[in-house]
Amino acid sequence: MTDLNAIAQIVDDAAFNATAIPQLSESGYAISLQEAYEVQRLSIERRFERGEKLIGIKMGFTSKAKQVQMGLEDEIWGRLTDKMWIENGAEIDIQDYVHPRFEPELAFRIKHDINGIISREEAFDALDAVAPAIEIIDSRYTNFKFNLPDVVADNSSSSSLVVGEWMDPNLDFRDLKMALQVNGQTVQEGSSHAILGDPIQALMAGSRLADTAGIVLKKDFIVMAGGATAAHALSKGDMARNCVEFMSWPCFSVKS
């Protein structure tokens, strides 16, 4: 029997110490996708024991651009904790990460509890606000390479999030231009349309998938919709931002 607790400790230690580990699938820990989600749960339990709190969930591989970049097609999700929150405009230290990348996203803030399969109307009904956002992902696996169970066990590469100004959820956010910039230069361009054709679908998918782990999306939880473009690697001294049409431009810098 595979000891899922032991694997949870391996991925959690790697994230905590920002050290790369070999892929589980290549180090004798061949686990199923279902087991990988259990490893994810157990690894986040360890964070809770250190005092972290659940603040929401993130969706992954909700755009073709991300699927193509990583060579994986299935939607995945991960858990977000308060320690992952980076204030808009703040500075991060690359030493706290293995090999961080950033990607342009939208964030949703939940108004009232939702769980399981919900309609588009129910999703909008439960939507308190929408904001432009950046996800900083950081796979704990060497060379940022993994298969589906590997990445899911590693909390779907969740690392940090930066959220811009919260806006009225009635704003039409189906097709907003997004541009990732580093030091004023555009490095990725896309549209929110890339996120499942309509980003509200990411909230619906999040509600459905979180329910498989018994998680209710509660008031004030955040749901990250997934990257609209491929992710871009960060280096010391970078000033990174996500320029979203009709929205504020969340940003952060990387300490030199």
Give the DSSP H/E element, type plus range, for residue 124.
helix 120-125
SS3 198: coil
Distance CA 148, CA 224 (A): 19
Q: Which of 227, 228, 244, 252 binds Mg ion (CB under 5 A)?
A: 227
CB 81 within 8 Å of CB 44: yes
- Min CB(79)–ligand OOG separation in Å: 12
DSSP result, 92-121: E-GGGSSS-EEEEEEEEEESS-B-SS--HH
- Min CB(112)–ligand OOG separation in Å: 25
Q: How many residues does the chain have?
A: 256
60 binds ligand OOG (CB under 6 A): yes
Q: Which residue is nearest to ligand OOG (CB)?
A: 60
Footprint on residues 138-177 left by ligand OOG (CB under 6 A) = 139, 151, 156-157
Closest CA to 252 of 140, 132, 149: 132
Closest CA to 38 of 224, 222, 212, 206: 212
- Min CB(256)–ligand OOG separation in Å: 25
Binding mask 110-149 for Mg ion (x = CB under 5 A): -------------------------x--------------
Partner that binds at residue 206, options ligand OOG, Mg ion, none, CB closer than 5 to 8 Å by kind: none
Distance CA 178, CA 93 (A): 25
Binding mask 45-84 for Mg ion (x = CB under 5 A): ----------------------------------------
Footprint on residues 102-131 left by ligand OOG (CB under 6 A) = 103
Partner that binds at residue 79, options Mg ion, ligand OOG, none, CB closer than 5 to 8 Å by kind: none
Pick 29 or 232: Cβ nearer Mg ion: 232
DSSP result, 25-61: GGTT----HHHHHHHHHHHHHHHHHTT--EEEEEEES
Binding footprint of ligand OOG on the chain (CB under 6 A)? 58, 60-62, 66, 70, 103, 135, 137, 139, 151, 156-157, 226-227
